Structure 1
Amino acid sequence: MNHKIVSTSNAPAAIGPYSQATIYNNVVYCSGQIALDPSTNEIIEGGVKEQTDRVMKNLSAVLAEAGSGVDKVLRCTIFLDDMNDFPLVNEVYGSYFKGNLPARETVAVETLPKKVLVEISCIAYI
Structure 2
Amino acid sequence: MKRSITGAGIPAAIGPYSPAIAVGDELYCSGQLGLHPETGALAEGVAAQAEQAVINLGALLSAAGYGYNDIVKTTIFLVDLADFATVNEIYGRAFTQPYPARSTIQVAALPKGGLVEIEAIAKRGGATG
Q: Distance in 2 between matches of 1:64 and 1:100?
A: 20
Residue aligning to 2:20: 21
Distance 1:108 1:32 in 2: 14
Amino acid aligned to 1:4: R
How many Å separate the matches in 1 of 2:30 and 2:15? 11
TM-superposed CA distance for 1:76, in Å, is: 0.2
Unaligned runs of 5+ in 2: 125-129
Deviations 1:29-63 (A, max 9, x none): 00000010001011122x21111000000000000
Instruction: State the distance in 1 between where 2:80 and 2:97 align.
Output: 28
Map residues 41-52 of structure 1 onto 2, 5 A cutoff: 41-45=40-44, 47-52=45-50
- What letter is aligned with 2:64? A
1:98 CA displacement: 1.1
Count of paired positions = 124
Corresponding residue SS for 1:9: coil
CA RMSD of aligned residues (A): 0.7
TM-score by length of 1: 0.96
The 3-state SS of whatever aligns with 1:106 is strand
- Structure 1 stretches lacking a partner, 5+ long: none
CA offset digits 1:43-100 (Å, max 9, x no partner): 122x211110000000000000011011110000000000110000000000110122
Task: Give the TM-score normalised by structure 2.
Answer: 0.93
- Number of the residue aligned with 1:91: 89
Could you tell me how far apart the structure 2 residues matched to 1:8 and 1:103 are? Answer: 27
Letter in 1 for 2:38: S
